[in-house]
Amino acid sequence: MNGWTQEFSRMLHRRAAGDRGAAARGLRQASLPAAPLPEAKKPGAAGGIRALSSGSLRSAGREGPGPWDAPAGGAALRSGPPPPRGDSGGGDGSGRAAMTGARPGAAEQRRAGARGGAAAAAAGGMSGAWGAGRALAALLLAASVLSAALLAPGGAPERGAESARPRDKKRHVELKMDQALLLIHNELLRTNLTVYWNSERCYHCLFQVLVNVSQSRRAGEPSIAAVGVSAQHGSILQLKATEEEKEVCRLEYKFGEFGNYSLLVKHVQDGVDRIACDVVVNEDPVDSNLPVTVAFLIGLALVIAVCFLRFLLSLDDFNNWISKAINSRETDRLINSELGSPSRADALGGDSQLEAWGPAAAPQRLRCVDTFRGIALIIMVFVNYGGGKYWYFKHSSWNGLTVADLVFPWFVFIMGSSIFLSMTSTLQRGCSKFRLLGKIAWRSFLLISLGIVVVNPNYCLGPLSWDKLRIPGVLQRLGVTYFVVAVLELLFAKPVPGSGASERRCSSLRDILSSWPQWLFILLLESIWLGLTFFLPVPGCPTGYLGPGGIGDLGRYPNCTGGAAGYIDRLLLGEDHLYQHPSSAVLYHTEVAYDPEGILGTINSIVMAFLGVQAGRILLYYKDQTKAILLRFTAWSCFLGLISVALTKVSENEGSIPINKNLWSISYVTTLSSFAFFILLVLYPTVDVKGLWTGTPFFYPGMNSLLVYVGHEVFESYFPFQWKLGDDQSHREHLTQNIVATALWVLIAYILYKKKIFWKI
214, 261, 212: which is closest to 235 by C-alpha?
A: 261
Which residues, listed in sequence order, are joined to residue 221 by a DSSP beta bridge? 218
Task: Please state at what angle helix 516-535 crosses helix 474-491, rounded to 10 degrees.
Answer: 140
Asked if 237 and 79 count as a contact pair (C-beta separation under 8 A), the reply is no
pLDDT tens by residue, 688-697: 999 888 888 9
- What distance in Å separates the CA atoms of residue 444 and residue 73, rounded to the nearest whole number? 58
Measured over the CA atoms of residue 555, residue 556, residue 562 and residue 566, the dihedral's sign is positive
Q: CB within 8 A of 63, min separation 6: which ones? A: 41, 43, 159, 160
For residue 499, the model assigns a pLDDT of 53
Q: How confident is the model at residue 49 (pLDDT cuts 50, 70, 90)?
A: very low
Average pLDDT over residues 155-180: 53
Distance CA 352, CA 756 (A): 11
Average pLDDT of the segment spanning 721-736? 91
Q: Which residues participate in catalysis according to the annotation?
A: 395
pLDDT of residue 3: 52
pTM of the model: 0.74
Identify the helix (H) or strand (E) that includes residue 77.
Answer: strand 77-78
Rounded to whole angstroms, the maximal C-alpha distance in the chain is 93
What does the alpha-carbon distance between residue 26 and residue 7 come to, in Å, rounded to a whole number?
A: 27
Query: Given this model, what pLDDT does residue 146 score?
Result: 54
Give pLDDT, residue 420: 93
Task: Supply the pLDDT for residue 628.
Answer: 92
Residue 310: pLDDT band (50, 70, 90) is: confident
Q: What is the pLDDT of residues 418-436, one digit of tens each?
A: 999 999 988 988 888 999 9
Q: Apex CA 110: angle with CA 104 and CA 111, to 5°? A: 100
Quick: pLDDT tens for 609-661.
Answer: 999 999 999 999 888 889 999 999 999 999 999 999 999 999 999 999 999 99
- Residue 421's pLDDT is 92
DSSP state, residue 184: E
* C-alpha–C-alpha distance, residues 34 and 37, integer Å: 9
Query: What is the sign, positive or negative, of the torsion defined by CA atoms of 415, 418, 423, 426?
Result: negative
> How many CB atoms neighbour CB 604 within 10 A?
24
Of 238 and 148, more confident? 238
What's the CA gap between 759 and 761, in Å, rounded? 7
DSSP annotation of 236 reads E
Mean pLDDT of 701-712: 91
Model confidence pLDDT, tens digit, residues 66-95: 333 333 333 333 334 344 333 433 444 333
Residue 261: which H helix or E strand, with range? strand 260-269
In this predicted structure, the answer to whether residue 336 has a pLDDT above a threshold of 60 is no
Residue 193 to residue 210: CA distance in whole angstroms: 11
> pLDDT higher for 105 or 451?
451
Pairing state of beta strands 28-31 and 172-175? Answer: antiparallel
How far apart are the C-alpha atoms of 492 and 512, rounded to whole Å? 13
The C-alpha atoms of residue 512 and residue 508 are separated, in whole angstroms, by 9
Mean pLDDT in residue range 322-344: 49
Q: How far apart are CA 750 and CA 155, in angstroms?
A: 36
Of residues 669 and 13, which shows the higher confidence score?
669
Q: Per-residue pLDDT tens for 552-598?
A: 999 999 999 999 999 999 999 999 899 988 999 989 999 899 999 99
Question: Where in 96-245 does DSSP place strands (E)?
Answer: 98-99, 172-175, 179-186, 193-199, 208-213, 223-230, 235-241
Span 512-533, pLDDT tens digits: 888 899 999 999 999 999 999 9
Between the alpha carbon of residue 758 and those of residues 700, 701, 704, 751, 755, the distances in Å are 10, 10, 6, 11, 9
8-state DSSP, 438? H
